[in-house]
Amino acid sequence: GPAAAAATAVAAASVLSDDPAAHRVLTGDRPTGPLHLGHYFGTLRNRVRLQDQGVEMFVVVADYQVITDRDLADRLAEHTENLVLDYLAAGLDPERATIFPHSAVPALNQLLLPFLSLVSVAELGRNPTVKDEITHSRQSAVSGLMFTYPVHQAADILFCKADLVPVGQDQLPHLEVARTVARRFNERYPHADGSAVFPRPQALLSEAPMLLGTDGGKMSKSRGNAVALGATEDETARIIRGARTDADRRIGYDPVDRPEVSSLVLLAALCQDRAPEAVAEEIGDGGAAALKRTVTESVNEFLRPLRARRAELAADRGHLRQVLRDGAERANAVADATLAEVREVMGAAI
Ligand code: ATP
Ligand code: MG
């Protein structure tokens, strides 16, 4: 369960001080809408740090996960390009990081068949994140695609033999499935010399593994509670003005008893690179209005350079598509090699 999964997560700092060449990273997002501050502080910043440390990185745009959502499928290409735009604005460098759309890598998707054979329906049914996503889904019936989502993610992670996955907290149960798939595959299909085909991937959590949105729930693209990285300063102010708080004028940092106020304090603190207690102390008895002013200013100041880069990059849609094409080419080469190895250890005739 999530508690056991948390035990397998590692802190970014321990990896960053480690040997960068010894690791390979896979992360990604579904192209369901603009990236927000939860993504930035939850995973994106760690990705950029790891990339800058010289760790080899693959970033998957999980487009197959949303093609069945009619609202999104109409504008899938646009959503996919916009995700790349957010990545580049945040500091991912397509020369160093391989950014590719899931649907463009057939060999990756072919790993699904053996992987599906390694997990039971009961195990998939117990996954708390899938349950939660089903609850929030606009779809009325649960599709096989949605139900098997953690197995697709296992294929995304294992196709490039990633050992590190920078993710938010909600992804820990999925990571556990990927670890299970890797372990069972290695047990059932070892190389002739007994060595394992796949590493057992570890989650890499950030300082903000679950940033809350303006309604007090997990900040999410699909819940209308997020500050998008690419939002204007006015939009940012409006969204934060509408955030839920409480009636206590004294601002404090107490995530358990005052989650809404504390998540706003945390947001300002992350943007200012200070301790949340210090930010709360400074606002003192200013109440929700002063808190929201501080948060708005901090967020807008923090995001200003990212937004400027984003505006520049947005002018060249052709470049965004080229990034995806180049990434797909590199990802295909890696996926073909892994699939060949998988077919060999599984005893394929040719
Ligand atoms: P959706 O509402 O479509 O599920 P999302 O906002 O939850 O979108 P995902 O694409 O599901 O975004 O998640 C992408 C990555 O960002 C995952 O690693 C996830 O854990 C992380 N992430 C998403 N929201 C947050 C958050 N509020 N705090 C920290 N990390 C987050
Ligand atoms: Mg999500």
ipTM: 0.96
pLDDT of amino acid 19: 83
Residue 1: pLDDT band by 50, 70, 90 thresholds? very low
Judge if 160 and 243 occupy the same domain. Answer: no
Residue 27 alpha carbon, nearest atom of ligand 1: 18
pLDDT of amino acid 145: 86
DSSP code, position 212:
B
CA separation, residue 210 to residues 142, 219, 243 (Å): 25, 8, 17
Contact 328, 105 (CB under 8 A): yes
Average pLDDT, the chain: 92
Of 37, 39, 59, the one to substitute when testing ligand 1's pocket (max ligand atoms within 8 A of C-beta) is: 39
Looking up residue 281, the CATH number of its domain turns out to be 1.10.240.10
DSSP code, position 44:
I
Considering its fold, how many domains does the chain have in total?
A: 2
Judge if 141 and 290 occupy the same domain. Answer: no
Judge if 242 and 189 occupy the same domain. Answer: no
pLDDT of amino acid 139: 63
Encoded tokens for 181: 């798939």
Judge if 185 and 286 occupy the same domain. Answer: no
Ligand closest to the CA atom of residue 217: 1
Q: What is the largest CA-CA distance in the chain?
A: 73
Q: What is the pTM of this model?
A: 0.92
Span from the CA of 153 to the centroid of ligand 1 (angstroms): 14
pLDDT of amino acid 16: 60
Crossing angle of the two packed helices 287-314 and 259-272, in degrees rounded to 10: 50
Residues 6+ apart with CB under 8 A from 55: 15, 20, 21, 23, 24, 25, 164
Judge if 184 and 238 occupy the same domain. Answer: no
pLDDT of amino acid 12: 57
Q: Tell me: pLDDT of 3 over 50.
A: no
